[in-house]
Amino acid sequence: MAWISATYLLTSRSEEVQKRAAALALEQSVEMPFEAVRDEKIRESIVARVTAIEPLDPQRHRVTLQLATATTGEDVTQLTNMLFGNCSLQDDVYLEDVAFPPELLQRFGGPRHGIAGLRALTHAPQRPLTCTALKPQGSSCETLAELCETFGCAGIDVIKDDHGIADQTYAPFALRVRACQAAAERAASVTGKPVIYAPSLVGSPRRIFEQAELARECGVRAVLLAPMLIGLGTFAEFAAAFPELVILAHPAFGGASRISPVWLFGKFFRLLGADATIYPNYGGRFAYTQDVCRALAHAARAPWGSIRPAMPVPAGGMPVERVSEMIAFYGKDVMLLIGGSLLLAGERLPERSRTFVEAVVQEV
């Protein structure tokens, strides 16, 4: 019998926490009073167990539950339901971390490429990777393709769509992907190194799969997906259906639930197939701390059974002037995503982009 170990932060007074933890265990397993469960087999093998209660302060406790793997059906959506379904509606519960048994790790597989695959794809075996975004939304296909070629000729490794770019009338998906992929290929012929364009895939599951087929026909090697927007089940199914595509996971909508970003972006996205995970870096437009960013990057790269490491991609308002600081903080297994700081250069965009690339190379 296999169990998942899920850790929650629970807001509760010390004298009530044991009762509250027991109620949480029931809520996340059988959803009924324990006394009403008369089948002894269900009591022993299905009802969740409270295995630890650690006081953090008089009002907060770390509670660990064991959840029966059998209740997940080895399905991503049902797994998420068992981890944080009903209790996500209770504002005193925060999902902090989850430890999976080996059979579940093997079932979901993790990245198909990971750090090693990204390095092979970009011909960059040791140094940090560079990444930027095509923006702003509202730009035409021609404008975005021109930007893509400019970035590629400057030597940037990965050029992704801004996550807000979808299939709008001003830059239809099919036309945009053909134009930007051709621009990336022209840039690669100039620089002699790979230039990876990653279009954003957005929409219903059927539409996303259609977009992926079109992108693959155009020669695209990487895509951008937002797992929380498209659905975690769709994300995992996509990773299995398109193993040849490198997947960059975007964190959009990831802050809508009380789930630790370290676990969600660093571990769960990785488990479901993200080769690289984008997240807000400290000191930018978002309020993540250095401790959270350090822990998230560690979660993405740390040894984890048979799961390949994923590339951490700190982003969110980072200027070129912070390249040296970020590499010192994260080390070489990182992809630095800088967008707006480059576009601020206006007519000096090619020079500013080359400065970004050179700043990374100089740190090796």
Residue range 162-197, pLDDT digits in tens: 999 999 999 999 999 999 999 999 999 999 999 999
326 and 218, same domain (yes or no): yes
Quick: pLDDT tens for 79-117. 999 999 999 999 999 999 999 999 999 999 999 999 999
Residue that is last in its domain, among 39, 72, 106: 106
In the structure, what pLDDT confidence band is assigned to residue 208 with cuts at 50, 70 and 90? very high
| 218: three-class secondary structure by DSSP | coil
Burial of 99 (0-12, 13-18, 19+ CB in 10 A): middle
263 and 134, same domain (yes or no): yes
284 and 331, same domain (yes or no): yes
- The single residue listed with the structure tokens 């701390």 is 289
Beta bridge partners of 132: 159
Strands (E), the chain: 3-11, 49-57, 60-68, 93-99, 129-134, 158-161, 196-198, 222-225, 246-249, 276-280, 311-315, 335-337
Q: What is the mean pLDDT of residues 115-128?
A: 97
Quick: pLDDT tens for 266-278. 999 999 999 999 9
Contact 343, 135 (CB under 8 A): yes
Q: What is the pLDDT of residue 286?
A: 87
Q: What is the mean pLDDT of residues 218-227?
A: 98
101 and 124, same domain (yes or no): no
Domain tally, the chain: 2
Cα radius of gyration rounded to whole Å, the chain: 22
55 preceded by cis ω (within 30°)?
A: no
Q: Is the pLDDT of residue 210 over 90?
A: yes
312 and 196, same domain (yes or no): yes
Q: Is the pLDDT of residue 364 over 80?
A: no
Q: Is the pLDDT of residue 123 over 90?
A: yes
Q: What is the pLDDT of residue 1?
A: 74
Q: What is the pLDDT of residue 117?
A: 98
292 and 335, same domain (yes or no): yes
Q: Residue 152: which of 171, 135, 132 has the closest Cα?
A: 132
Residue ranges making up the domain that contains 330: 114-362
**Integer Cα distance of 281 and 87 in angstroms:** 29
Q: What is the pLDDT of residue 254?
A: 96
Q: What percent of the chain has pLDDT over 90?
A: 97
74 and 128, same domain (yes or no): no
129 and 147, same domain (yes or no): yes
Residue that is last in its domain, among 46, 81, 106: 106
The CATH number assigned to the domain holding 56 equals 3.30.70.150
Q: What is the pLDDT of residue 239?
A: 98
47 and 125, same domain (yes or no): no
163 and 243, same domain (yes or no): yes
Q: What is the pLDDT of residue 287?
A: 82
The CATH number assigned to the domain holding 358 equals 3.20.20.110
Quick: pLDDT tens for 8-49. 999 999 999 999 999 999 999 999 999 999 999 999 999 999
Residue that is last in its domain, among 106, 129, 144: 106
Q: What's the mean per-residue pLDDT of the chain?
A: 97
Q: What is the mean pLDDT of residues 287-310?
A: 96
Quick: pLDDT tens for 332-354. 999 999 999 999 999 999 999 99
257 and 200, same domain (yes or no): yes
30 and 173, same domain (yes or no): no
- One-letter amino acid for residue 354 of the chain: R
- The single residue listed with the structure tokens 């296999």 is 2
Q: What is the pLDDT of residue 363?
A: 80
Q: What is the pLDDT of residue 98?
A: 98
